[in-house]
């Protein structure tokens, strides 16, 4: 597996424009509207209402609300994996805006063996399971 820094090629998709710039705009709009939502009007989790068991996404709205208010620790307490993923996505978005606006070379993955891809899927699955176990234990 190798990363390379290079200019975009003609038939290549501009992933920084598609995901980075568009995602950041959507993230900021969602964060703005969620932060304006009164606490009593928060959407309820249907799984938790019917079974008492939190779903893997329980706490994400509170997580986003706390992140928009600058309370990272509180956001992490409500949904650790969501806080990390939103943070990583925000870093990627800022890189994307810089790359698109300044026409900088792009970071590209040259090649990844199947075992690296399988390992990434395994790590992500473990993180999801660990986060859900955390949510179950703190419910």
Tens-binned pLDDT, residue by residue, of the chain (139 aa):
688 888 888 888 888 888 888 877 787 787 777 777 776 666 778 888 899 899 998 888 888 888 888 899 999 999 999 999 988 888 888 888 899 999 999 988 777 788 888 898 999 999 999 999 999 999 7
Between the alpha carbon of residue 83 and those of residues 50, 66, 131, the distances in Å are 26, 10, 11
User: What is the model's pLDDT at position 13?
Assistant: 86
Q: What is the predicted pLDDT for the residue at 12?
A: 84
Structure tokens at 27: 């993230």
Please give, one letter per residue, the 3-state secondary structure of 88-113.
HHHHHHHHHHHHHHHCCCEEEEEECC
pTM of the model: 0.79
Contact, 34 vs 64, CB < 8 A?
yes
CA distance 69 to 67: 5
């Amino acid at each position: 597996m190798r990363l390379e820094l290079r200019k975009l090629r003609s038939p290549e998709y501009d992933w920084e424009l598609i995901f980075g710039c568009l995602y950041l705009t959507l993230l900021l709009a969602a964060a703005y509207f969620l932060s304006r939502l009164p606490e009593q009007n928060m959407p309820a989790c249907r799984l938790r209402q019917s079974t008492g068991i939190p779903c893997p996404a329980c706490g994400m709205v509170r997580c986003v609300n706390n992140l928009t208010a600058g309370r990272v620790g509180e956001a992490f307490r409500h949904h650790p994996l969501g806080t990390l993923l939103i943070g990583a996505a925000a870093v990627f978005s800022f890189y994307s805006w810089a790359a698109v606006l300044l026409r900088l070379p792009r970071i590209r993955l040259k090649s990844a063996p199947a075992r690296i891809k399988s390992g990434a899927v395994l790590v992500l699955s473990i993180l999801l399971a660990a986060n859900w176990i955390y949510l179950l234990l703190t419910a």
